[in-house]
Amino acid sequence: MIEALLFASSELLSLDEIRARLPRGINVRALVKELQGIYATRGVNVVEVDGRWGFRTAEDLAYLLHREQVEERKLSRAALETLAIIAYHQPVTRAEIEEIRGVSTSKGTLDVLLETGWIRMRGRRRTPGRPVTYGTTAEFLEHFMLTSVGDLPGLEELKGTGLLDSAIPAGFQVPSPDDSADLREEEDPIDDEHMYELPLEGDGPLDDRDDQTG
């Protein structure tokens, strides 16, 4: 009877709750302990939690019930803008991204794009400080179902989708993207011992604050 009660209950039961459903005079605690011994070596065990009893999966078999699930997260507007700039202007440095966007770019934004595998560190610009240059990856093309980065929409296509105002300035041009793996004349290879850029003032290793207006 106790076995049936514990099995059918969706919550742990106290001894009083079990006792209320059994004939008078039964030593409920002794029987629960006996039942616990019977299930000690089985796939489910009788366990006590804060004075309440019930069936739970044996701890050594808990891994069987683990389920991996992919959690989809939307990119922030800052990340989407940064990704678009890298795709069209690569190779491009963080300072150049900020100049185009008109706001400072959080290191966390670049970290998110690096973690997705959509951008990569290409090399170092031959300018003071030798900033890292960024470009897109094959994973970027695969995710957005592009044969090549040259398939990104041009000026007229962007106008047609409404992403660009029809009253754009005269002479405005959309860059022709090029994701060639070959380093440009103004790029040096990345030193493996110094893979990451020195943080700008205010940045920390876990800095993922929202972008701030420049």
CATH code for the domain in which residue 26 is found: 1.10.10.10
Burial profile 138-164: b = 16 or more Cβ within 10 angstroms, e = fewer = eebbeeeebeebeebeeeeeeeeeeeb
166: domain range?
A: 77-194
Which of left, alpha, beta for 102 (phi over 0: left; psi -120 to 50: alpha)? Answer: left
Asked whether residue 214 is domain-assigned, the answer is no
80 phi/psi in degrees, rounded to 5:
-65, -40
Asked whether residue 94 is domain-assigned, the answer is yes
Helices (H), 90-169: 94-101, 107-116, 138-143, 155-161
Q: Is the predicted pLDDT of residue 206 greater than 60, yes or no?
A: no
- Predicted confidence (pLDDT) per residue in 99-157, tens digit: 988 888 888 899 999 999 999 999 999 989 899 999 999 999 988 888 888 888 876 66
> Domain check: are 83 and 181 in the same one?
yes
> Domain check: are 83 and 187 in the same one?
yes
> Domain check: are 19 and 113 in the same one?
no
> Domain check: are 174 and 144 in the same one?
yes
Counted domains in the chain: 2
Q: Is the predicted pLDDT of residue 199 greater than 80, yes or no?
A: no
Asked whether residue 15 is domain-assigned, the answer is yes
> Domain check: are 119 and 54 in the same one?
no
Asked whether residue 168 is domain-assigned, the answer is yes
**pTM for the structure as a whole:** 0.56
CA gap 92, 156 in Å, rounded: 24
> Domain check: are 110 and 138 in the same one?
yes
Nearest to 78 by CA among 213, 210, 214: 210
> Domain check: are 22 and 112 in the same one?
no
> Domain check: are 159 and 81 in the same one?
yes
Looking at the chain, the whole-number percentage of residues with pLDDT higher than 90 is: 41
CB atoms closer than 10 angstroms to residue 136: 23
For the chain, list the strands marked E by DSSP: 13-14, 44-49, 52-57, 92-93, 119-125, 132-136, 187-188
CA gap 139, 22 in Å, rounded: 63
Higher local confidence (pLDDT), 36 or 163: 36
> Domain check: are 27 and 116 in the same one?
no
What pLDDT was estimated at residue 6? 94
> Domain check: are 27 and 98 in the same one?
no
Average pLDDT over residues 91-104: 89
> Domain check: are 120 and 87 in the same one?
yes
Asked whether residue 47 is domain-assigned, the answer is yes
For residues 57 and 44, the answer to whether their CB atoms sit within 8 Å is yes
> Domain check: are 181 and 92 in the same one?
yes
Asked whether residue 55 is domain-assigned, the answer is yes
